[in-house]
Chains A and B, each alone.
Chain A
Amino acid sequence: MTHAESHGHANPAPAKLEGQAHPISVYLWIWGLLFVLSFFSYLVDYFHFQGFLRWSLILLFMFLKAGLIIAIFMHMAWERLALVYAILVPTGRS
């Protein structure tokens, strides 16, 4: 009884919250990760890596950054699969 009461007090209208609701720390973490990954890809140029090492590192950091932006910032990770496939399959085919 007391538990239910305190719960109701701390969370007056949980059903009212609609749309994408994720803790702010998720976005801050991804923001930080994107900074680190961008810094790494900058270092690839700074240290003058050449040839296949350069290209594979550039692609690796690029895909990681793109994946984080699409999945978390654009909320693709939480969308229904029907939409995810409709967008990502044609992109992958191009």
Chain B
Amino acid sequence: MTNEALTNPASLPVENGLKGVVSDWSSDQRAFKKVPWGKAMMWVFLLSDTFVFASFLVSYMTVRISTTVPWPNVSKVFSLTVGGQEVPLLLIAIMTFILISSSGTMAMAVKFGYQKDRRKTALLILATAAFGATFVGMQAFEWTKLIMEGVRPWGNPFGAPQFGSSFFMITGFHGFHVSVGVVFLLIMAAKVWRGDLDRETPGFLTGRRGNYEMVEIMGLYWHFVDLVWVFIFAFFYLW
């Protein structure tokens, strides 16, 4: 009877609410109950990544406040001319909608993954990757446009020189995250399509058995990339 709790921690009663927090953390076993370890570790990674991006945004705000030269008019710098008319922030708005759409398809991929709908999951992950690749492509276009206009990490023709360094650092780091995400999405789509997750095939790198929780963990990363963009959009492009 007493051994039951020792050998099978799942047999212990699980409490909810604040009491549950206390009992989970003081249970002298795994703290994150009913959460696959991969998911808990992804959350911890995302937490550390949050600090990285938070540092970037805080340092950007610091230089923006402290610089003696006026900050460039961001709305104008990122405007596009459509049919002879200048539309402010048009490209950035489209990029925002694309990234949100990719999050939507990813969320649905996770849902169909848990329903073991291989075809729909793979197609939705592929759609997510396509949206992500489009986003990176538009970012490349944006970088090209700004570089040709003379924006450099050490100066630019529009105002405070710190604008360039903040821009390339923040959007570059975010774009890198998106690119890495696209690569992993394609790998995950292939795994799902082949049926690796149904057959629990060991992965080629880690040897971990395939599992549809992997799609949700991949999704967590992807939503995080979208989440970071929400903050960059607000603080860098709109502020």
Contacts and interface: CB of A to CB of B under 8 A. Distances in A.
Nearest to B22: A82
Interface string A53-67: 011001101100110
B196 to A, nearest CB: 17
A21 B111 contact: yes
B198 interface: no
A87 interface: yes
A85 B216 CA distance: 20
Contact of A66 (B20, B107, B230): B230
A29 to B, nearest CB: 10
A73 B230 CA distance: 14
Contacts, number: 128
A52 interface: no
Interface in B214-239: 216, 219-220, 223-224, 226-227, 230-231, 233-235, 237-239
B230 A19 contact: no
Interface residues of A, number: 44
B98 to A, nearest CB: 11
A7 B141 CA distance: 55
B103 A41 contact: no
Given A38-B96, A82-B33, A69 B103 contact: yes
B25 interface: yes
Given A42-B93, A62-B234, A73 B239 contact: no
Contact of B24 (A21, A44, A75, A82): A82
A73 B107 contact: yes
Interface in B12-32: 16-18, 20-21, 24-25, 31-32
A17 B111 CA distance: 11
A80 B89 CA distance: 40
Interface string B106-120: 111011011100000
Contacts of A61: 234
A31 B106 CA distance: 11
B238 A69 contact: no
B47 interface: yes
A83 B43 contact: yes
Contacts of B238: 41, 44-45, 54, 58
A94 B54 contact: yes
Interface of A: 17-22, 24, 27-28, 30-31, 34-35, 38, 41-42, 44-46, 54-55, 58-59, 61-62, 65-66, 69-70, 72-75, 79-83, 85-87, 90-91, 94
Given A31-B104, A74-B219, 8 more contacts: A27-B107, A28-B104, A41-B238, A45-B75, A72-B107, A80-B20, A81-B20, A94-B54
